Amino acid sequence: MLGQHEALTMAAGRRHFCSLCRAPSAEDAELRQKSAGGLRAGRKIDFEAVLYTPRGDVWKEHVTGQPVAAFVIDEETGRGNAEVEVNENMDGTFDVSFKPVDAGTFTMHFLLTGRHVRGSPAMLLVVAGAICPEKSFCTLRGLRRIRCGEVLSVFIVARDAQENYVFGGQQRASVTVDGDVPAESRVEDADNGQSHIHLRWDTVGERKVRAFLADGNLEPVELMTSTVEVVPAAPSPAHFQVENTVGTSAPLEAEVGQQFEFGLLLRDRFGNATDEMLTDLQVFAEGLQGHVPVCIRPPPQIEPDIVSKFGAWKPPEAHFCRVGLVAEVGISGDYTLVWESRLAGSSGRAELHVKSGLADCYQSIVTGAENRIFKASETDGTMALHFELVAHDKFGNCCNRHGEDKVSMRLKRWGCEGVSLTEASVLKLSEASSRFLAVGHADHFGEWQLEVFVNGSSLLGSPFVIHLAEDPAEVQRREEDARRQREELERQRRAKEEEERRAKEQRQEDLAAAVAAPISARRPEQSCEAQGPDEKELERRRKIYERLKREEEVHKRAQEALRKELEERRAKMRLEKEKKEKRCGGGFQVVFKGFAPDAQPGARGAGPRSSQNAWGSGEGAVQE
């Protein structure tokens, strides 16, 4: 006879109850969690289900084979977990366990006879397990190629052994670089289990980058090793460099009228050489000539190579990074070489000095070769003539070459040998000046010639004729002296004539008295021996008369010679005065015909002269 509340267990595993027996109910059962501490993914979570009697005692006997069910629901996905293990201990308890693969929120459901027991469903918060570097993820893989200035972003995702994402910021990421130190290296460990690594380089080249990950106090474990090729950034005109044809960084210089070429080195904003050409690059020069366009010669194209395409990157050679600039300027001075690109949004500039060409004999100008009045110095009796040459090249630019122009001058009097002005007398104002000064000395008035040579060639218009006229004050003074001399000579002549006239009259009176006086009327002082006969006296008187006649003739001839001399002097002074008033013109010389008593044989103006001269035929010559 079975007692109340007792079950009868039959063979074959079937449960048979008496009508008077009561089975365990869900209200009396309870689900308890046995695992203590944090719940981690990949670790088993244990529960215990206990069946109680209505009096609160644990069912000990005759409770096997109770209809129980257990399952786990993932609250994030809503899916169930089929790997729940339920073990009956045959003592009124059940061991329930499952191993969560992922971290998250789960609910444990335990049913008895289709109903939830106390504590079911149980809310479970499962976190990820310990960080497993082998299972963690890193975005740095294979070969990477970036430009200078670009940031290489590397993400490291911490995961546990079950590849669950580990949250909470427990990861510690780090990175090492073999090669140049990055301009920027920054690691950000976030709470979501991700680490963000920032790397940036300003120089080109190949780098080995290694990523490491650690959990807490563990040693860092290498996750990934990658090769990063840093190539030049986009071309930046503001950082382009200009070199001259010899490939140096000296200041840019060019010569006017000659085609010059400079090299423009392509650089990125960090100064790295690049072979990338800007399609809208414009170059021009601004200065005295205005806007001067500059021709651009692009660099040679690099031939495609399969090996280089898929192989490691190499810096381009220098001639692939050089753009040729060709231009020609006709006005010397300082210019600004400007290059710009709208696509790049920047521009650059460099100073360009265009020097003039050599002095040209057809463009240079001489001043100081004007006609002037001869004024001799009181010290040496010469007149200083100042000349200035302004040198211009064949384009009309003032020459500013440093000591490269050779200028010589020669000053001479017409018909005489010239005197070359020495280098000491032909002075240049400064090394960069185009003005040459020279000083010559004239010792007499008249016609002078200035010969100018520029770089071995005669200057256009050379020799320059310089007429030095006599000083009017000197002429007036000489005329006054001549007038006074003439007046003095006239006075002396008249006094002499008056004296001779009186002497002649006295002699004539004495002769007439001597002829008319008888022999007896002779002077008492005469001796008797001297008186002689009458014939002798008459002969003596006749001789005296003839002698007086001859003296009168001589006196007349002397007066005539004096008159002719005065007339010749007046004619000579008149000729000299007319000669000063007349000048040469049209390449012909004015020739005066006349006799100059004081002129030297062979000298200019001495005697009659043929109208044929050094400048041309005598056609059109003025003769007097």
Q: Examine the fold and report which residue of 178, 212, 231 is the final residue of a domain before the chain moves on.
A: 231
Q: Which of 229, 227, 224 is nearest to 201 (CA)?
A: 229
- 177 and 207 both lie in a single domain: yes
Q: Rounded to an integer, what distance in angstroms lies between the CA atom of residue 204 and that of residue 270?
A: 10
By the 8 A CB rule, do 159 and 166 touch? yes
Residue 527 lies in a domain: no
By the 8 A CB rule, do 146 and 99 touch? no
- 253 and 196 both lie in a single domain: no
- 319 and 241 both lie in a single domain: yes
The helix (run of H) or strand (run of E) holding residue 106 is strand 104-112
Q: Rounded to an integer, what distance in angstroms lies between the CA atom of residue 127 and that of residue 219?
A: 23
By the 8 A CB rule, do 340 and 347 touch? yes
Residue 537 lies in a domain: no
Q: Which amino acid is at 114?
A: G
Question: Which residue's structure tokens are 């990338």?
Answer: 276
Residue 103 lies in a domain: yes
Task: Give the residue, 260 or 596, on which the prediction is more confident.
Answer: 260
* pLDDT tens digits along 282-296: 999 988 888 888 998
Model pLDDT, residue 21? 45
* pLDDT tens digits along 6-38: 333 333 333 444 334 456 777 778 888 887 666
Q: How many domains does the chain have?
A: 6
Residues contacting 231, CB < 8 A, separation 6+: 145, 146, 147, 148, 204, 313
- 465 and 488 both lie in a single domain: no
Q: Show the beta-strand stretches assigned E in 414-478.
A: 419-421, 427-428, 435-442, 446-454, 457-458, 464-469
Model pLDDT, residue 577? 84
Q: Examine the fold and report which residue of 127, 158, 193 is the final residue of a domain before the chain moves on.
A: 127
Domain span including residue 212: 137-231
Q: Mean pLDDT across the stretch 562-590?
A: 76
Question: Which residue's structure tokens are 């210089």?
Answer: 253
Q: Rounded to an integer, what distance in angstroms lies between the CA atom of residue 577 and that of residue 570?
A: 11
Q: Rounded to an integer, what distance in angstroms lies between the CA atom of residue 82 and that of residue 101?
A: 12
Residues contacting 290, CB < 8 A, separation 6+: none
- 268 and 191 both lie in a single domain: no
Say which CATH number the domain at 56 has: 2.60.40.10
Residue 564 lies in a domain: no
Q: Which amino acid is at 241?
A: Q
Question: Is pLDDT above 70 for 227?
Answer: yes
Residue 536 lies in a domain: no
Q: How confident is the model at residue 567 (pLDDT cuts 50, 70, 90)?
A: very high
* pLDDT tens digits along 73-84: 888 777 776 578
Model pLDDT, residue 38? 65
- 100 and 65 both lie in a single domain: yes
DSSP annotation of 382 = -
- 249 and 323 both lie in a single domain: yes
User: Which of 29-43, 143-157, 297-311, 403-417 is least confident?
Assistant: 297-311
Task: Name the packing angle between helices 534-581 and 472-516 (round to 10°).
Answer: 170
- 48 and 143 both lie in a single domain: no
Question: Phi/psi of residue 537, each to 5°?
Answer: -65, -40
In percent, the amount of the chain with pLDDT more than 90 equals 4
Q: What is the pTM for the complete model shown?
A: 0.55
Residue 483 lies in a domain: yes
Model pLDDT, residue 583? 54
Q: Rounded to an integer, what distance in angstroms lies between the CA atom of residue 328 and that of residue 293?
A: 9
Residue 534 lies in a domain: no
Q: Rounded to an integer, what distance in angstroms lies between the CA atom of residue 385 and that of residue 375?
A: 11
* pLDDT tens digits along 363-419: 888 888 888 888 888 888 888 888 888 888 888 888 877 677 888 888 888 766 655
Q: Rounded to an integer, what distance in angstroms lies between the CA atom of residue 355 and that of residue 255?
A: 5
- 44 and 119 both lie in a single domain: yes
Question: Is pLDDT above 60 for 187?
Answer: yes
Residue 568 lies in a domain: no
- 462 and 411 both lie in a single domain: yes
Model pLDDT, residue 61? 62
Q: Examine the fold and report which residue of 127, 161, 196 is the final residue of a domain before the chain moves on.
A: 127
- 433 and 478 both lie in a single domain: no
Model pLDDT, residue 544? 82
Q: Rounded to an integer, what distance in angstroms lies between the CA atom of residue 180 and that of residue 504?
A: 135
- 283 and 227 both lie in a single domain: no
Q: Rounded to an integer, what distance in angstroms lies between the CA atom of residue 397 and that of residue 359?
A: 9
| Sign of the torsion angle spanned by Cα atoms 459, 460, 463, 464 | negative
Q: Mean pLDDT across the stretch 468-491?
A: 87
